[in-house]
Amino acid sequence: MFVLIMAYIWWLRFRYPYAWVPMLLLMFVAHVCHRETPSKLGFKWSHPAHALARLSGLLVLVALALLILGMGFRSIRTVPLQGALLSFLTYCLWGLFQQYILNAYFVNRLSDFLPGHLHAIPLFAAALFSLAHLPNWFLMLATAAGGYVCARIYLRYRNLYFLGMAHGVVGFLLYLVVPDTISHHLSVGPKWFSM
């Protein structure tokens, strides 16, 4: 599946833009074969309020740190409010989709492949997540760290909704505060070279 994702990023999406559909169907088939329900995959909100409050507090700290860095470096881009809100909501949906692939698919498959090695699963997941963002060195670093943290949170709480929202918040703030000279407009694959 990882090879197919890389082939899509680097080649298929330009020639066959809907090639992601059969790939997603293959993931669903894997879930059916492993008898994974939506709840088991992490599509649920049923967690203790104190756990989500703690995670939300951490997310607020990360968001504040990014905004303070942006203000300190005077790198916050000007975005119209309506465009910013639409971009943020879109990025939360995109974040949920990426967290589904990272965690509900890859972390679960790595858990099957590496039983008893719970500490290694987030490392492998983070490495795959980072490699999927080649050659954007900035995103590779961000996704290695973020992928590791998200995989650990997923293994403990199995809450894709929170992870998708967190991904959206951090991703949008990275877009907002990191100049394109560093982030290459968050592009990956061949698009990175045209930025």
Max Cα separation, the chain? Answer: 51
User: What percentage of the chain carries pLDDT values higher than 70?
Assistant: 98
pLDDT score at 49: 67
pTM of the predicted model as reported, rounded to 2 decimal places? 0.94
For the chain, the domains span 39-194
- Mean of pLDDT values over 20-32: 97
Per-residue model confidence as pLDDT tens digits over 107-142: 999 999 998 899 999 999 999 999 999 999 999 999
151/124 Cα distance (integer angstroms): 10
**Over the chain, what is the mean pLDDT?**
95
Does an H or E element contain 188, and which? none
Residue 47 in this model has a pLDDT that exceeds 90: no
pLDDT score at 134: 98
